[in-house]
Amino acid sequence: MKLYPAIDLKDGKCVRLKQGEFKEITVYSDEPWNIAKDFERCGASFIHLVDLDGALKGRSVNEATIRRIVDSVDIPCELGGGIRSFADIERVLSYGIARVIIGTKAVSDPGFVKEAIQRFGANHIVVGVDARDGMVAVEGWGQLSDKTATSMCRAMKEMGVKHIVYTDISKDGMLAGPNIEMTKKLTEETGLDVIASGGVSSIKDLIALKNAGISGAIMGKAIYEKKIDVRQAVLEVEKEPIPFSEFKLNSDGMIPVVVQEEDTNEVLMVAYMNEEAYNLTLNTGMMTYYSRSRNEIWVKGLTSGHMQYVKSLKLDCDSDTILATVKQVGAACHTGAHSCFFRTII
């Protein structure tokens, strides 16, 4: 199941609402792009953005902030709020948003969704189905339509939609648990990729959604209220790391790690991990090794500031070597060279 940590934007700030009410607002950060970078460092593979002002006004309002968020991370972002025209979609996709979420417009003009898919592709178009008491809400959740969530999802499937973000408004921002029953029903009856939104309060909720066959879940207030740790959620729900016991170790009980830079594919260094170092790497997102010369665990860059942030870990076909792709800060080599491999033999 894919996890989507959320950033809701109002006046350029990261906020959360309670049940969609703007009078029930909490500001969590004046620099939402830094929150996005934290999500990425914690292993998130997608970020969910909502332009709350845009949803109310029917046009993009927080575009400068959204652009900065997109430019700050390497993982894809999806955006909802105020997208009402093909020009809106084209503009948003042009500055790096991977998927746009269409809500009110999908209710009032289903044909718009069909044409949007024809123009931009189904993988770039998501429909937001926001419901209160089973009825779809529009205009920033301020009005109820005459369509049920179920009928709306079925109609969107006929338009060619693959992805739905289903929000139970009564659950949103309440930390009372998601509407698993309805989300499961929509998934089973439509066969769509339904992403659950609203009410997620714990990793236990995420696991329950995963066990119900839900393909994705948005995490919002639970992150900001410290009820869900993004790194832990990704490890427990989205990713299932290979246990250290399955590795073929060397005579010292360790596995070699070839470290490669993400952007350039340059090989930076080779180090070793024991089980403790491996587990610390998974849990912290920072490359951690076992120093054979000092006989101790060491976090790369802890003293120098030249940290290595994990982007991916891959195991070779013989299970005896790890390839780590990292975001390198500063130099990888203790000599001050960017890579340890700077001496040419031939």
Q: Are 241 and 235 in contact (CB under 8 A)?
A: yes
Q: Which of 51, 53, 130, 172 is catalytic?
A: 130
75-89: buried (b, 16+ CB within 10 Å) or exposed (e) per residue?
A: eebbbbbbbbeeebb
| Whether residue 17 has pLDDT greater than 90 | no
Alpha-carbon distance of 98 to 184, in angstroms, equals 25
Q: Give the pTM.
A: 0.73
DSSP state of 237: I
CA distance 45 to 75: 6
Q: What share of the chain is helix, strand, coil (3-state, %, to 5)?
A: 30, 30, 35
Q: What is the pLDDT of residues 295-311, one digit of tens each?
A: 999 999 998 999 999 98
Phi, psi at 247, each rounded to 5° = -80, 150
pLDDT-derived band at 49 (thresholds 50, 70, 90) equals very high
For the segment 42-69, the average pLDDT, to the nearest whole number, is 90
Active-site residue among 8, 51, 53, 205?
8
Query: Confidence class of residue 65 from pLDDT cuts 50, 70 and 90?
Result: very high
Residues 125-145: what's their mean pLDDT?
Answer: 82
Neighbour tally for 143: CB within 10 Å: 11
**C-alpha dist (Å) from residue 67 to 22, 79, 94:** 24, 11, 10
pLDDT of residue 20: 61
User: Tell me, what amino acid is at 106?
Assistant: A
pLDDT at 240 over 80: no
Q: What is the CA radius of gyration of the chain?
A: 22
Highest mean pLDDT among 14-23, 141-150, 246-255: 246-255
- Concerning whether 74 is annotated as a catalytic residue, the answer is no
Q: Is 133 a catalytic residue?
A: no
